[in-house]
Amino acid sequence: MDTTVTTGTEESVWGGGNRPLNASYGKMMMWFFIVSDALTFSGFLVSYGFSRFKFIETWPIADEVFTHVPFFHGNFPMYYVAFMTFILIMSSVTMVLAVDAGHKMMQKKVILYMFLTIIGGAIFVGSQAWEWATFIKGDYGAIETKGGRILQFVNAETGKRAALADFAKTLPEDRVKHVKSEGVWYMDEGYKTSFSLNEVVEGFKTSPNILIRTETINEEGEKTVLDRSASLAKLKDAALVVEGANLIRNEYGSRLFADFFFFITGFHGFHVFSGVVINVIIFFNIILGTYERRGHYEMVEKVGLYWHFVDLVWVFVFTFFYLV
């Protein structure tokens, strides 16, 4: 004889007929995506933190790296990155307003706020592309030693960084860049620096006001500047000239810094770019009245979740990569 035990809680247990947390299928899938993507970004940031802690004494100082502003010449540490952050946060505000207008079925306001969100996202993506180009191109140039260390140059009189062009000596050399049609094994050389190693070394020897600055951070939190005799001795270990940054070399210091910069900001930038594309598609659907006919603007809500997630991730990237 079978015995059935009744606990009195059967009706309170979800049996598949109701929506979890009263959320639609689309919203639930968006939340699943956000959670999984958050783990990926967390992995990037944790790896960055571990690497920075391990090489804390030689890690580049962000205030000395991100000092550029479009159309202006000078030293503006973190100004433009702060501007990018402000733009992205404001685009999140306009997205909130778009979602709220959608709840009230106010089509014209949804169009306006979605348009402003798209503009904000486009400005951020364009700014990030400009930041990449500036980072890759470099500013001053440096020397890489045989051990892989970066040696930068400073003006002893002003204490400011000195570019290779400020002291490098032009020598009569027949050195040209190899191309596929002329190079060995039909391979491109890659890129040719503005000055050869000999030109930098000879120029340094004839410029007594130029000193070498190493990667090591001193007790004052600044890069260590060597005296003239120590600089000349250090220069004997020079191996090649470095201009700008890529995944292999980095004139600003540790190559890991450049690697994490490209991977973290690039991965986030791809998310922002994707969000802008999706926003544009939804924007035109709003203009065509697609969601008015459906009787709701849930699609705007779903893309709003994604956009807020992208903004929140940037807050963490900005804090841990640029500020801390």
Task: Report pLDDT for 301.
Answer: 94
**Which domain does 186 fall in, by range?**
142-243
| Residue 2 placed within a domain | no
User: 266 with 279, same domain?
Assistant: yes
| Residue 248 placed within a domain | no
Task: Report pLDDT for 21.
Answer: 62
Q: Final residue of a domain: which of 243, 277, 292?
A: 243
Average pLDDT, the chain: 88
CA distance 161 to 301: 49
pLDDT band of residue 27 (cuts 50, 70, 90) is: confident
User: 216 with 90, same domain?
Assistant: no
Give residue-wise pLDDT tens across range 284-297: 999 999 999 999 99
User: 128 with 232, same domain?
Assistant: no
In the chain, the percentage of residues whose pLDDT exceeds 90 is 71
| Residue 15 placed within a domain | no
User: 105 with 189, same domain?
Assistant: no
Task: Report pLDDT for 150.
Answer: 93
The torsion angles phi and psi of 5, rounded to 5 degrees, stand at -105, 125
Give residue-wise pLDDT tens across range 102-161: 999 999 999 999 999 999 999 999 999 999 999 999 889 999 999 889 999 999 988 899
Q: What share of the chain is helix, strand, coil (3-state, %, to 5)?
A: 55, 10, 35
pLDDT band of residue 17 (cuts 50, 70, 90) is: low
User: 44 with 74, same domain?
Assistant: yes
| Residue 52 placed within a domain | yes
User: 111 with 59, same domain?
Assistant: yes
Q: Range with the lowest mean pLDDT among 22-36, 50-64, 131-145, 293-307? A: 22-36
User: 55 with 123, same domain?
Assistant: yes
Q: Look up residue 267 and give its amino acid.
A: F
What is the torsional sign of CA 104, 296, 304, 271? Answer: negative
Task: Report pLDDT for 72.
Answer: 86
CB-CB contact of 241 with 196 (8 Å)? yes
Q: How many domains does the chain have?
A: 2
- The closest of 319, 233, 309 to 39, measured between CA atoms, is 309
Give residue-wise pLDDT tens across range 187-242: 444 567 888 899 999 999 999 999 999 999 888 888 999 999 999 999 999 999 99
